[in-house]
Structure 1
Amino acid sequence: MPGFHGRTLLLIAMLGWMLPARPASAEVVVYAPGAMEEPLTRIAQAAGEAGVPFTLVIGHSPAQARQIVDGAPADIFISADPQWMDFLNGKKMLSETPIVRLASTSLVLVAPADSGFSFGGAPGESLAAQLGDGKLAIADPDMVPAGRFARAALEKTGQWAALQGKIAMLPHVRAVALMVERREVPAGIGFASDVARDGKLKIILQFPAEISPVLDFPLAVVAGHQRPEVAAVAAFVAGAAGRAVFKDYGFSEPSH
């Protein structure tokens, strides 16, 4: 049996194998949520042309935050949920560079653009009844911030309990939009930015601020990664060029 030193080296080797390696194709690595994949892909292309290239790694914010704590090679973290930025801050995993709010969106109930589905959210109105034999698509609340926000809104409005057995849980918020577009479900809960980008959906209900506040997407530099090229990428993404792209994809200016 290997001694303590041997077991330690084995553990380090195993951890190194489990963590994603730093991509060799770019100096700066940006971890970001699926809700921002399309605009950030376009921004990455523009940044590369401007001489500030970066590699984009898309994933769920909770998982990415935990990976950063475990040593994943992210230089910049963009979160779909401010609580995971707070989580990293509490772990002292963020640099002293100020956190920047890139853009915002809101939580909405959506249906196909030409659908007759309706729900006003009035007291006593049942979303489960409006769905009939169909289901409501939401992102998985245990994995995806959009799903957590959806569940919280449904709980606050007293709809969640009646919807048990009528929920289609999906791996990310874009999957919700696609499922509704294909009419596999009558309605879903996602981000307003998803509706704006393709014209195939319509907003049935925008949840009021007291039920689900405007959702900001913050950006921060990871502790120990304050290199000039990282600062240049952060400035490009958060600057005028980046904000124009976010607007094109249906995102709004940060709430504060």
Structure 2
Amino acid sequence: MGSARQTEDVDFPQALRSARRRHHLSQLDLALRAGTTQRHLSFIENGRSRPGRGIVVRLGESMGLPLRERNELLLAAGYAPVYPQTSLDDPALEHVRAALGHILTGHLPYPAIVVDPRHDLVLANGAFGLLTEGVAEHLLRPPVNVLRLSLHPEGLAPRIANLAQWARHILDRIPRDDLHDELSGYVPHIEPGPDHVGFAAPMRLRSARGELRLTTTITTFATALDVTVAELKLEAFLPADAATAALLAE
């Protein structure tokens, strides 16, 4: 994986403390999970002890950090990353592509897609076309961002009967970055009422076959040891009622 290296621009003790606090773990909790002592962990966080690569790997694993963040923690500690990041087009991941294809096909007649961390479309099954009826061509040119496709005025938005609720459901799930700002400008504002219990709701999508009521499930590859695979998400659309199931079955 390459030789160890020191990084001067990232403070490992601070990076470790920040990650631990984000996951609401005390030093004792993390020490027990990682198979070390609170005293040793305290020395590491105070910069009094330089950790070996093995303990850095265990700390990242014990906090459940995404593989990309585990690699960043290793770099901050002065070690080369241990988790590869392979292009999905690489022959080494042919078995992954084949497996994803089987999963997507098996989900028919319901739409299903695979997206990367930027929410760009990686793969889709044949039923995905039901969602993109009438969508502007420029939104379907790669890379296709499925969130932009969903909320853009020339995308699915004109066909979503409960756009404000569905948009808030999406926006609440993503970080507040440039994409969040862009998408927020596309949708109407909605104020939660006194009985508000969350914006999660089936998407009500008008189609040539009638209104489709769709819920979604998101699957991640939790045991993957490659950054690329671990960051993929499979989003499956399921009928929320019998009428929608019948329409999709046609």
- The question of a shared fold, defined as TM-score above 0.5 by the shorter chain, is answered with no
TM-score calculated relative to the size of structure 1: 0.24
Pick 1 or 2: higher relative contact order, CA cutoff 8 A, min separation 6: 1
Where is the strand percentage greater, Structure 1 or Structure 2? 1
Q: Give the TM-score of the pair, scaled to structure 2.
A: 0.24
